[in-house]
Structure 1
């Protein structure tokens, strides 16, 4: 029987368009798999990483000639060729080719150029150098660099070390780091008030030693203590280095270690040799380096969750090979880098990965989806065992304030070691997964909810840790953080423990944050990017695909929860009005459909942070996030209830 009601055809059109678009995305996503069924993705080339790698290799050429090779010279030359293509119009350099300039990357490129000269390679030309100097001067120079990082020395001291190696500043300008503290057991690190975050111990050791050798001498008794700590802490450095040679699989961290050993005449050390090999192996074809080798485990977990969100999921993503690979990524021994107990997952299957509280929940949720498709009883038991290990690992990591940090419980107060809202929301979702053996997680979930309640901003938003928006003054990303917490609050049937008022405030925040183009997030940088490329005719594109997809996913998840939960005072109308929420979802879906038509979903945007606000983008993020959003929108009633066209609400 045909539907003759006004707008019925439009409703069917929107549903059909979303269904066709999701089918397209599924095909694109499945095509990105490796031969054993998982995803590797591709991280953006990074001017920051490239500059540090160039400096490290050039320092080895200059200070340890006998350990370098013609290939090293070629790497420096190719790296400089790449950097010459990355200078922004303002004269500075950003972390990626879609990033705004920042003083940290600009200083690192300047140091790389100086070291390239010393290594006999071509530096930046005079015009580029003058423009770079002008950008740094306008940015406040060294004081501007210090302001960017505040009291956190995790990145500012390595940058200044790089500059001292290049001869740009004096060694006495570089802060001294307490490398001798690394002789203590890892379990004591959190009590020692380290000036760097938990995962920067290799830099603490290598750079701290370099400053000890080349900077102003400390007073006699302490100088002897430090001298005695050199060899023991070098053993720590070796113990923490993975088989690949790359600390955390990260180019910047590994480069800082290699250049520090080179300038102190230790290029022959095994740590340096392995680090140089890692840099050689991880160089991309265009002469650049990414910030990390890959995020294979992370993007695979996200891809599975997105594909399983489709109401018509045919499970073609599942295979026994994929399951075996995912299970193999779980860390089953105490980790030498952080001392983490067995049971967690890191971001990649490579040896430099470290288990953390974002990748572990993502893997647990992915395995829960795989369990529903698996037919082998032994494999199902393996899945349950892996999930239970992961959940116990998460329970032990929870901080006293109820939130989850990234790597180490109770480490300190620096930004990347504190409890964070996005990680806590993710952990709560994972702890709600049921297996054959019940894990007592109710108390942990309630404590997590209490932390989230206290962390909610006055406007209803939550601020995340590992994702940002470069157009915001503080480079934070409330769309990402709010979406992730709202997904947790609504996907576990109220077990997240957040009050309805908190959920309503978060929903209102997302609805009221919608842009005039129907999407979310973004800003001037993305508007300029697409304007230059003439995207979508004369229509201004402000929003990012990634942030829009996350907001649609979260709002649709809230709608689905209200559809499936029994009626109660807790499941009442969303603040701001259900109609406004539903219209916001429709506007977001239409933005995503337009983006797919324009192929904007194939152009990832730098919303990801690495440590110390190091920006990156990942090729699969817009594809994965959009597939999840359309799947949730199709599962909800919204595309059947309201006809387009969508008219955004005035602010």
Structure 2
């Protein structure tokens, strides 16, 4: 078979599989896989609230135990090195599940933790969890008074200076840090102290610098304030926090569609006197069940968030690229669902943008308060690909620029400013940094199609440098891959095992640059075709999504389906998204949903 014939067959199978994955309500959602800290903290929450469940504990321990590396550690991404804080939380969770410290897998983990500094070297959030059970001293943690609720929006470090997901966490933790609760610990953790320590460790030392000294002095002042805080002011602040938290509970009982935000909110409300039977607490606890993925082997994995809006917009764009007609029932159903998720009321963002009307999209099923730029842009791109009865860092900017170009706003001053930003952000290598996907392959795969859609010619020096870089990092097997470690070490940029999603990102860029007949595209398409299974799917154990660069990596289980399909569709059409015709016939043999 020719490469084109192979690509046609792969495209048809991928379309069929993706259509079969659509929910009856119109959305797509792949599993949102992160690391075991979400699972460990879920067990710690249940222990703290006294609602431990034997079945859940056993199932969670199966998953956590199964993710342990040969050296006894746990990583934050597939194939990555051991991470100290993640390993500590996983170890403690397994102790809660009944694993004894002298069992080989536990002894190996404890030895590694001790060798790398033990509990004292872990992140602040890990030490907060340990403090809840007396395994760390509250006095050695940063002070976070609830009175910060009263700081005006112009004052430094007020709550509106933080991103939406961290704001919710900070507000809830202000109660925890003020109350400093300690629940009776079911065991000690002496085996996690370095051998030179004989008692609970103290705060780690950090290198001195101007900012370190400033925040150290600020923290000392806040600790001193904690001892003399006026009772009446403290009570007023606690009441304000309680109201703030409850007002932001979503319809499903969660907070912002994030497991971590729901977890801290529940702890805060519990400390403020809300019993587990209270409707707010009951709904919040029930919402956590929605984050659980039960596997056939009996293991239970926690999704720290869910990505239906993002996944659905990507699936629509992939199917449209593949030639599925723009009025196909599956795509119209997806459009209806996405339109129903558009925000119609202001959220906390209105504090800083009071004149801005609502109208964006969030990431999750239930998040009515915190839309984001990336999802909003991708949804608009998807909706504009359809014939519907009713009429978004460098990667986010690229999505917005591409959307504006498809809206006929190539010459709009805002589009031109976006283009200027992208050109200025190009790395010396020719690549672009990817904030929300790993990493330079994601950024470059988003920026090049956006620039060409916005009118830059394929001969533009920036585009030629990008193509040269992509060809230089193509793997011997024809695919592309990039390790998560590129966020910390640029020597990993474009280096890694070939994956379906990352190969597709590279192809999207090279195709947009007019290189459809090049050897690089030929080899990349053939790799995608050969990696595809007979049922139209691709396998991808690697983490190619990003929550926080270098710290929180994500495995979007639908990425390995939508992006390869998108690339194959554009290869077969040899055109950019804005140039693809609106098809009026189905792809041959593509099933109706």
**Aligning the two structures, in what range does the TM-score lie when normalised by the shorter sequence?**
0.7 to 0.9
Residues 320/459 of structure 1: CA separation in 2 closer, same or farther (3 Å cut): closer
CA contact (8 A) 2:410 2:416 kept: no
Question: Which of 437, 460, 469 is the aligned partner of 1:467?
Answer: 437
Matches within 5 A, 1:185-224: 188=154, 192=158, 197-214=163-180, 218=225, 222=229
Give the distance between the partners of 1:306 and 1:35, measured in 2 at CA: 19
**Shift in alpha-carbon separation, 1:357–1:45, aligned structure 2, 3 A:** closer
Query: 1:546-586: per-residue Cα shift (whole Å, max 9, x none)?
Result: 11111001111221xxxxxxxxxxxxxxxxxx69x821111
Check whether the contact 1:237–1:271 (CA below 8 A) recurs between aligned residues.
no
Structure 2 distance, partners of 1:312, 1:207, is 48
Q: What is residue 303 of structure 2 aligned with on the other side?
A: 291
Q: Deviations over 1:278-331 (max 9, x none)?
A: 123432224534334521111111111111112575854645433321211111
Contact between 1:51 and 1:108, CA under 8 Å: does it hold in 2?
yes
Corresponding residue for residue 168 of structure 1: 135
Residue 443 in structure 1 maps to residue 413 in structure 2: yes
**Are the structure 2 counterparts of residues 189 and 322 from structure 1 closer, same or farther at C-alpha, using a change threshold of 3 Å?**
farther
Q: How many angstroms does 1:24 deviate by?
A: 0.7
Q: Distance in 1 between matches of 2:407 and 2:259?
A: 38
Cα 1:296–1:637 shift into 2, 3 Å: closer
Distance 1:172 1:221 in 2: 15
Partner Cα distance (2:160, 2:99) in 1: 36
The answer to whether the 8 Å contact 1:247/1:352 transfers is no
**RCO comparison, higher one (Cα < 8 Å, 6+):** 2
The structure-2 alpha-carbon separation of the partners of 1:262 and 1:173, relative to structure 1 and needing over 3 Å to count, comes to farther
Of residues 237, 250, 261, the one that matches 1:242 is 250
- 1:30 equivalent among 2, 15, 19: 19
**Is it true that 1:429 corresponds to 2:402 in the alignment?**
yes
Matches within 5 A, 1:436-515: 442-468=412-438, 477-494=439-456, 500-515=460-475
TM-score, structure 2 as length reference = 0.78
The TM-score, its normalising length taken from structure 1, stands at 0.71
1:129 deviates by: 2.5
Counterpart mapping for 1:225-624 below 5 A: 225-262=233-270, 266-268=274-276, 271-286=280-295, 287-311=299-323, 316=328, 318-336=330-348, 341-351=357-367, 354-371=370-387, 374=388, 379=389, 382-383=390-391, 420-434=393-407, 442-468=412-438, 477-494=439-456, 500-522=460-482, 542-559=497-514, 582-597=518-533, 601-611=538-548, 613-624=551-562
Tell me how far apart the structure 2 counterparts of residues 89 and 489 of structure 1 sit (CA, whole Å): 45
Superposed CA deviations along residues 352-397 of structure 1, whole A, max 9, x for unmatched, are 67311111011001110113xx3xxxx3xx42xxxxxxxxxxxxxx
**2:441/2:482 contact within 8 Å kept:** no
CA RMSD of aligned residues (A): 3.4
Residue 344 of structure 1 and its aligned partner are, at CA, apart by 0.4
Contact 1:483 1:550 in 2 (8 A): yes
Partner residue in 1 for 2:114: 137
CA displacement at 1:265 relative to structure 2: 5.9
Alpha-carbon offset, residue 252 of structure 1: 2.5
User: What is the deviation of 1:171?
Assistant: 1.1
**Does the 8 Å contact 1:517/1:542 carry over to 2?**
no
The reply on whether 1:102 has 2:83 as its aligned counterpart is yes
Higher helix share: 1
1:20-169 superposed matches below 5 A: 20-44=9-33, 46-61=35-50, 68=51, 72-95=53-76, 100-113=81-94, 116=96, 121-123=97-99, 126-127=102-103, 128-142=105-119, 144-145=121-122, 156-169=123-136
Could you say what secondary structure the match of 1:230 adopts?
Answer: helix
Over residues 429-473 of structure 1, what are the superposed CA-to-partner deviations in whole Å (9 max), with x where a residue is unaligned?
1222338xxx798111122222222222111111121223xxxxx
- Shift of the alpha carbon at 1:30? 0.7
Distance 1:159 1:337 in 2: 29
Q: Deviations over 1:36-55 (max 9, x none)?
A: 33312222374221111111
Deviation at 1:611, TM superposition (A): 4.4
**SS of equivalent residue, structure 1 residue 241:** coil
Paired with 2:541 and 2:349, the residues of 1 have a C-alpha distance of 31
Q: 1:159 to 1:517 in 2, by over 3 A?
A: same
- Indicate conservation of the 8 Å contact 2:172/2:268, yes or no: yes
How many angstroms apart in 1 are the aligned matches of 2:80 and 2:39?
Answer: 15
Identify which range, 448-457 or 94-103, moves more after superposition. Answer: 94-103
Structure 1: gaps spanning 5 or more residues: 1-11, 62-67, 146-155, 384-403, 405-419, 469-476, 526-540, 560-577, 639-651
Taking a change above 3 Å as real, the CA distance of residues 195 and 102 of structure 1, as seen in their structure-2 partners, is farther
Structure 2 CA distance for aligned equivalents of residues 25 and 554 of structure 1: 21
Shift of 1:144: 4.7
Range with greater deviation from structure 2 (84-93 or 196-205)? 196-205
Q: 1:609 is paired with a residue of what secondary structure? A: strand
Q: 1:35 is paired with a residue of what secondary structure?
A: coil
